[in-house]
Amino acid sequence: PPLYHPHPAGASAAAAPRTPKPRTPEPHPAAAATSALGGRRGADEDVAAAGWRARRKHVFVLSEAGKPIYSRHGNEEALAATMGVMMALVSFIQSGGNVIRAICSEDRTLVFEQRGPLLLVSVSRTRQSAAQLRRELAFVHEQILSLLTRGGIARVFARRRGFDLRRLLAGAEAVLDRLLGGGRLVTAARQRALAEGGRLCASDLHLLLNLLGGGAGAGEVWTPVCLPRFNPDGYFYAYAARLGEEEEEGVTLILLSTEREGFYAAAACRRQLEDTLRAQGWLAELGAAVRGGAGYGPSRAGAPELRHFLYKPLEGPEEMQQLPQFTSPELEEPYTSEEEQHRLFDLYHFLHSRVHSPHRPLRLLYHVAEKETLLAWVTSKFELYSCFSPLVTKAGAIAVLTKLLRWLKKEEDWLFIRYPAPFCAAPA
């Protein structure tokens, strides 16, 4: 069972952690912190309305008994019958010795992913491939594991197959809702002794930022968190708190420890770091930079023909390879509306699925769409997805991207965290 310290920001802990009674299911504390900041959006959406059916994407999570656990849109209780039909379909296919993985129609793709006692389903009207949707479902599953661990979920359902897992995830729906949010990692550091054998992979870092990045505004959070890629059956203990006063908010510090009783040491570390940053004037500068945005426009690369791009380096220092990153400019005209942004990223999903096709992978793909021309370029050193005006030629697009690559190489220290700093822990 988790621990939680909802202390006022900047205050010390006033009492020792209370250990909950064993075998008493309780909501995860990070979920409680998120719930305190406000309810989730769309929970009261009418699932019988045309607007609900017209959503671009739905994500459902249910148990093997057909019990609803989570729905991206609408109330889970109102969708109990729908989820029961999903589970019945999966069970019927399994009874014949087969496994249902996807159903594709003209305008929708349904993807089914069984993970232990949980069934995850995606219903999409986007241009994402089944493999891309399955990857999203894997992230949703790992976010649930970050709250409860794989072993914890297995034990709950081993005791009661029909257990309602929402009792343990109460308040965590908002964590799942914002899984694809826009948080930015400013810097990262790890203990030097762990630099070789204890690396934190990007997907675990993504889950950690999503879980704690929105809950620290309530004060200081101390909570167990599972990092599924590192160890799906164990907990770290995470400390999260905003740095600075209320007017400086925007920067969250997250500390990870293996010590169950390490709250006081983590809080002292934050205070020392905060005092140092404030004394040097860096805290105010960091807060102003975050509030002002750290983006850049596509024209900064000196390529006015370029509307937008996504760039992911595949080589670099070993430390950088342990923290995969990508960069892209701010969206500008004609991609300022939500509809146009969805359309652009649907095209990127299409390019990605084509170049990474398991049947016929491609290195270069030139695609002329209705309103723009796109080019995907994949090498052993990088992946690059780009968007141009509709009249650009293939040769012209490659020339622009060659110029862009020179700019990216020149600015890589500004665009990426290339050398996450190691540190030495003080002797006990």
pLDDT, residue 293, reads: 63
Sheet holding 252-257, edge to edge: 221-225, 236-242, 252-257
pLDDT, residue 288, reads: 77
Share of the chain above pLDDT 70, in %: 78
What are the angstrom distances between the C-alpha of 74 and each of 48, 71, 110, 119, 388?
10, 6, 18, 18, 38
Kindly give the residue spans of alpha helices, DSSP state H, lying in 96-169.
Answer: 130-148, 150-159
DSSP-based three-state secondary structure for 191: strand
pLDDT, residue 16, reads: 34
Domains of the chain: 29-177 (3.30.450.70), 195-294 (no CATH), 298-415 (3.30.450)
What are the angstrom distances between the C-alpha of 244 and each of 73, 271, 282?
35, 10, 11
Summarised one tens digit per residue, pLDDT across range 7-38 is 333 333 333 333 333 344 455 555 554 444 34
pLDDT, residue 216, reads: 52
CB atoms within 10 A of CB 73: 20
Q: Does 232 sit behind a cis peptide bond, omega within 30 degrees of 0 on the bond before it?
A: no
pLDDT, residue 15, reads: 34
DSSP-based three-state secondary structure for 270: helix
pLDDT, residue 45, reads: 80
What is the spatial distance between Cα 375 and Cα 401, in angstroms, rounded to a whole number? 9
Count of residues in the chain: 428
Structure token pair of residue 238: 């995470």
User: Which helix (H) or strand (E) is 248 found in, with range?
Assistant: none
What is the spatial distance between Cα 74 and Cα 109, in angstroms, rounded to a whole number? 20
pLDDT, residue 366, reads: 96
Q: pTM value?
A: 0.74
Sheet holding 306-313, edge to edge: 306-313, 382-388, 373-378, 364-368
**Is pLDDT of 194 > 80?**
no
CB atoms within 10 A of CB 171: 20
What is the spatial distance between Cα 254 and Cα 85, in angstroms, rounded to a whole number? 41
**Is pLDDT of 164 > 60?**
yes
pLDDT, residue 322, reads: 60
pLDDT, residue 17, reads: 35
Contacts of 335 (CB under 8 A, 6+ apart): 307, 308, 341, 344
Mean pLDDT along residues 90-117: 92
pLDDT, residue 39, reads: 46
pLDDT, residue 290, reads: 72
pLDDT, residue 27, reads: 54
Mean pLDDT along residues 237-243: 89
Name the β-bridge partners of 104: 109
Lowest mean pLDDT among 152-161, 175-184, 252-261, 348-357: 175-184
Is 233 or 212 the better-scoring residue by pLDDT?
233
Closest CA to 137 of 55, 184, 93, 72: 72
**Is pLDDT of 316 > 50?**
yes
Exposed e or buried b per residue across 87-117, where buried means at least 16 C-beta atoms within 10 angstroms of its C-beta: beebeeeeeeeeebeeeeeeeebbbbbebeb
Residue 41 pLDDT level (bands cut at 50, 70, 90): low
CB atoms within 10 A of CB 348: 20
Summarised one tens digit per residue, pLDDT across range 363-419 is 999 999 999 999 999 999 999 999 999 999 999 999 999 999 999 999 988 888 777
